[in-house]
Amino acid sequence: MRIFLLNAPFHRNYSRHQRSPAVTKSRTLYYPIWLTYAAGLLDNHGFEIQLVDAPGEDIDRREVMRRAEAFKPHVVVVSTSTPSIVNDIAVAEELKAATGAYTVLVGTHTSARPLETLQAAPHVDAVTRREYDWTLLALVQHLEGGGGEPAGILGLTWRRADGELVTEPDRPDQADISELPHVARLYARFFKDHWKRYFYAITRHPVVTIVTGRGCPYKCTYCLFPQTLTGHGYRRRPVEAIVDEFKFIEREFPGVREVFIEDDTLTVDRKRCARFAEEMIRRRVKLRWTANARCDVDLETLTLLRKAGLRLLCVGVESADQEILDNVKKQIRVEQIERFFVDTKKADVLVHGCFMVGNPGETHQSLERTLSFAKRLNPDTAQFFPLMVYPGTEAYAWAERENLLETQDYERWLTPEGLHRSVVERPNLPSESLREFCDRARREYYLRPTYMLQKAKQVVTDPYEATRTAKSLVTFARYLVDRDGGASRHAPTTAQPA
């Protein structure tokens, strides 16, 4: 049985598989990591797959259709996100018409809005909810066996021949994820001609992205993946398999400079981190790597991870105000954040700090405190971001409950260029004022003389950092120079209906 898996064309450099799907100001382009893991699991079970990443290859819908028709799939799988869902449905419907294949939509949006999605896509056969690797596997095995309607497949919402929509029970999170493939092998097979297009401003380039574990035990109200895909239990791949994958990347990706570990919180299990670091050291892995973490990692762990190749941690600071951190269920103290930044400097680990504004309890005064806090913490790089809420998250439910959503037209989650657009409108903090604050905060942070001197010294002493900084600056410069970050060029000229 042949399965065609697609990350559909949309805006150029659109990253469906990031936590806040959009085109970014740094022109980041994410690997379609969740879709690739699902493809790899099907491949491991003997199914013939074709994996196409249209944004990664920079191809249009016509080329996608040409490839699909040539492949003659029995099943088509299309990844979704909230801002792109109208486009994703249109592509899926066109693929259904062109191939006649059983057509499935997957991803964060279908997890949050399964019935709504199927109602908007009258020719799509099914959607998945939450983590979809094993749901797709069960569905494809069922279809291959000639089982007829897919009744009883956990995690699936599907359409009967008479149009009735059926919701099967949820699929429990897969406790043992050791069966997941080395995703880098799929990259080498399907993305070998364009893998250097994938870009993250915080990593060295070129970069390869993997996952070592799924889920996060913390319950931050805004975080998309644990609430819509991976759940709140941290499930781990074997340490030996992770290091095997690092060695594979070293061999098979000439010129690779870094691995990005895309776990929600790699450092949640300190003992496993220690085993991972020791195995990396024992097997003499030379690749540098970056990971997501919380601001609660101790100095001993930081020091050991640095010896094992850690270069940078990406952390969510969010706010300087304890009340706001508590409101978003961050489960961290301001004092812990301050200690973390002291310890990362001692361990010689760089930090990318994320500061998110517009959360419950935010005021104009708290915004200024957060900007001052960012300058005092002084991460290597920082981003200032308005709260983005997505269906399926507690933050979205809060905004909906408080009547703060400007629109539920998903196409308006983005600017016409594809950049983020906040749809939360608070009387005391309208989205426009938050955008203006983020633009100003970005300028004030990066154009400080002390910061520019710090980066100049870094560039002189480290050629890899010089390359990373130069590439990021080229793509990001206009958002520092323009007073409004370029937004005025992309603002709608007329109001659109909600």
Domain termination residue (choose one: 167, 184, 214): 167
**Of 474 and 121, more confident:** 121
Q: Are residues 8 and 157 in the same domain?
A: yes
189-224 pLDDT, tens digit per residue, is: 999 999 999 999 999 999 999 999 999 999 999 999
Claim to verify: residue 134 and residue 250 sit in the same structural domain: no
Strand, helix or coil for residue 4: strand
Distance CA 368, CA 94 (A): 49
Answer whether residue 78 shows pLDDT above 80. yes
For residue range 443-458, what is the model confidence (pLDDT) as tens digits? 999 999 999 998 888 7
The reply to whether 403 falls in a domain is no
Say how many domains are in the chain. 2
| Same domain as 360, residue 228 | yes
**pLDDT digit string, tens, across residues 137-178:** 999 999 999 878 999 999 999 999 999 999 999 999 999 999
Domain-embedded: residue 178: no
244 pLDDT higher than 90: yes
Going by pLDDT thresholds of 50, 70 and 90, the confidence category of residue 474 is: low
CATH number at residue 22: 3.40.50.2300
CATH code of residue 209? 3.20.20.70
What percent of the chain lies above the pLDDT cut of 70?
93
Q: Is there a domain that residue 488 lies in?
A: no
User: Which residues are CB-neighbours of 69 under 8 A, at least 6 positions away?
Assistant: 98, 99
Strands 165-167 and 156-159: antiparallel
Token representation of residue 125: 């056969």
Claim to verify: residue 327 and residue 451 sit in the same structural domain: yes
Q: Residue 466: its pLDDT value, please?
A: 63
Query: pTM for this structure?
Result: 0.93
Closest CA to 4 of 27, 38, 28: 38
pLDDT digits (tens, 9 = 90+) for 331-343: 999 999 999 999 9
Q: What is the pLDDT of residues 299-335, one digit of tens each?
A: 999 999 999 999 999 999 999 999 999 999 999 999 9
Contact call for residues 237 and 37 (beta carbons, < 8 A): no
pLDDT of residue 355: 98
Q: Answer yes or no: is pLDDT of 495 > 50.
A: no
Q: Is residue 361 assigned to a domain? A: yes
- 396 falls within a domain: no
pLDDT (0 to 100) of residue 457: 84
Give the domain range for residue 210: 201-386+435-481
Check whether residue 16 and residue 146 sit in a common domain: yes
Average pLDDT, the chain: 93
One domain for residues 127 and 210: no
Q: What pLDDT score was predicted for residue 497?
A: 28
247 and 363 both lie in a single domain: yes
What is the SS3 assignment for 3? strand
Flag whether pLDDT at 487 surpasses 50: no
- Judgement on whether residues 342 and 214 belong to the same structural domain of the protein: yes
| Whether pLDDT at 488 is above 70 | no
Residue 87 within a domain = yes
Half-sphere exposure of 300 (CA within 13 A, CB side): 4
Q: Which run of H or of E encompasses 69?
A: helix 61-71
CB atoms within 10 A of CB 182: 19
- Which of 144, 167, 190 marks a domain boundary? 167
Same domain, 259 and 137: no
How far apart are the C-alpha atoms of 345 and 146, rounded to whole Å? 60
Same domain for 326 and 374: yes
Please check whether residues 227 and 128 belong to one and the same domain: no
- Report if residue 491 sits inside a domain: no
Question: Does a structural domain hold residue 89?
Answer: yes
Residues 103-109: what's their mean pLDDT? 99
Secondary structure (3-state) at 198: coil
Assigned token pair, 411: 């196409």
pLDDT at 430: 93
Task: Specify the pairing of strand 288-293 against strand 258-261.
Answer: parallel
453: number of CA atoms within 13 Å, CB side? Answer: 3
Measured in degrees and rounded to the nearest 5, phi and psi for residue 392 equal 100, -15
Same domain, 150 and 228: no
Whole-number Å distance between alpha carbons of 62 and 337: 49
Tens-digit pLDDT profile for residues 420-443? 999 999 999 999 999 999 999 999
Residue 484, pLDDT > 90, answer: no
